[in-house]
A = this chain, B = another copy of it.
Amino acid sequence: MTGIALIGAGRMAKVHVASIIAAGAKIATIYDPVAEASKLLAAQTNAKVCYSAAEAMNDPSAEAIIIATSSDTHIELLYEAVKAKKPVLCEKPLSANYQEGIQFIRTIGDDAAKKICVGFNRRFDRGHASVRNGVHAGHIGRLEQLTITSRDPYPPPLEYIPRSGGLFRDMMIHDFDMARSIIQQPIISVTAHGSSIVDPEIGKLGDIDTASVTMIAEDGALITILNSRHCAFGFDQRIEAFGAKGMLVSDNPRQSGYTTYTSEYPGTSAPILEFFMERYGPSYTAEIQTFIACSREGKDMPINAIDGMMAAYLAEASTASLKHKKTITLTGLDQEFTNV
């Protein structure tokens, strides 16, 4: 029974606890700067409460590490975890500053980076995974157009906007990773458009709430990502992969197979799922299962720190494209996006 060092005892940590137990693993050690939170979670899981991340990570009972703390602490904890020489799962992003992420990968090397799982849980969504697998299996021949739609049911609190890093780094980063995982080839240009049409207050804070990004892959395939911070009918999460032999779609699952036929509602389905815990709950569980299995077997992670860095890179390029109102040609990780 794999022992996990759990760093963080907040909301995401609690989400992971159930998955860890369901996966047949146990919480071995736990650390959170708020000691009360650690103790509460430890009481339910029989874990050892630790008083530093290093203590929790290096305890012999811990065979793998899960980092589920706030974004600004990730990079420091990642360096600590690498020192512990144990498999790590870290929520995205590696760092709020993408240059730090690049530096981290360069410091630890690609082999170590591949042992670090980055929490792009949407890759485990059943419908999305079916599209990706279908594309890779050649069901639609050569991929020509990829469209990813991602709309949250409602915006985050306004006070979160300034420290979010902006829509591209905070929200669209999931879609950049999804695009990369499906397209599996270099992206050569990024063009971003956006506006604050949902809530002008978001615009006053220097961010956008509605965005469209077009990317071109090396072979000419066109990628379109549409984002909105608001969606009146739920959590709109769709993928459409169009190729030479057809199209694969991951549409929004519905809450049930309930449908109403009346003169006013002539065929009304049950609503789509509401937000990420409803839609992506099973994905979190699958992610933890995969992480624990790879940890046990000493295998590389299917989504690793290099993926985390590359998604951040596309977010950075999009941010620059929007700011400078021009297409960003991707020439390498050292590109100075701020001086294009």
A interface vs B, CB < 8 Å? 125-127, 130-131, 134, 139-142, 144-145, 147, 151, 191, 193-198, 210-212, 214, 216, 219-222, 224, 226, 228, 230-234, 236, 238, 242, 244-263, 265-272, 325-327
Contact = CB atoms under 8 A, between A and B. Distances in A.
B196 A232 contact: no
A144 B197 CA distance: 7
Contacts of A216: 193, 195
Chain copies in the assembly?
4
A329 to B, nearest CB: 9
Contact of A144 (B126, B140, B198, B263): B198
Nearest to A194: B222
A155 to B, nearest CB: 12
Nearest to A147: B226
A79 to B, nearest CB: 37
Given A197-B221, A224-B212, A226-B147, A253 B250 contact: no
A226 B223 CA distance: 10
Contacts of A219: 197
A130 B261 contact: no
A261 B244 contact: no
Contacts of A212: 145, 214, 222, 224
